Amino acid sequence: MKKPPSVVITDAARSPSDQLRSREFRYVTMMSARVGCLILGGVLASLRPPWLPLWLTLCAAGMVFLPWAAVLIANDRAPKTKAERAADAAAREHQRQETLAGLSATPEPVAPIVIDAEVVEPTGAERHRPA
pLDDT in tens, 42-65: 999 999 999 999 999 999 999 999
Helices (H), the chain: 16-47, 52-74, 82-104
Evaluate whether residue 29 is within a structural domain. yes
Evaluate whether residue 117 is within a structural domain. no
131 falls in which pLDDT band (50, 70, 90)?
very low
CB 66 within 8 A of CB 34: yes
Evaluate whether residue 97 is within a structural domain. no
CB neighbour list of residue 113: distance below 8 Å, 6 or more residues apart? 119, 120, 121, 122
Q: How many domains does the chain have?
A: 1
CB 66 within 8 A of CB 28: no
Evaluate whether residue 101 is within a structural domain. no
Q: What average pLDDT is seen over the chain?
A: 82
The whole domain housing 37 covers: 15-81
Q: What average pLDDT score do residues 80-93 get?
A: 84
Evaluate whether residue 100 is within a structural domain. no
CA 40 to chain centre: 35
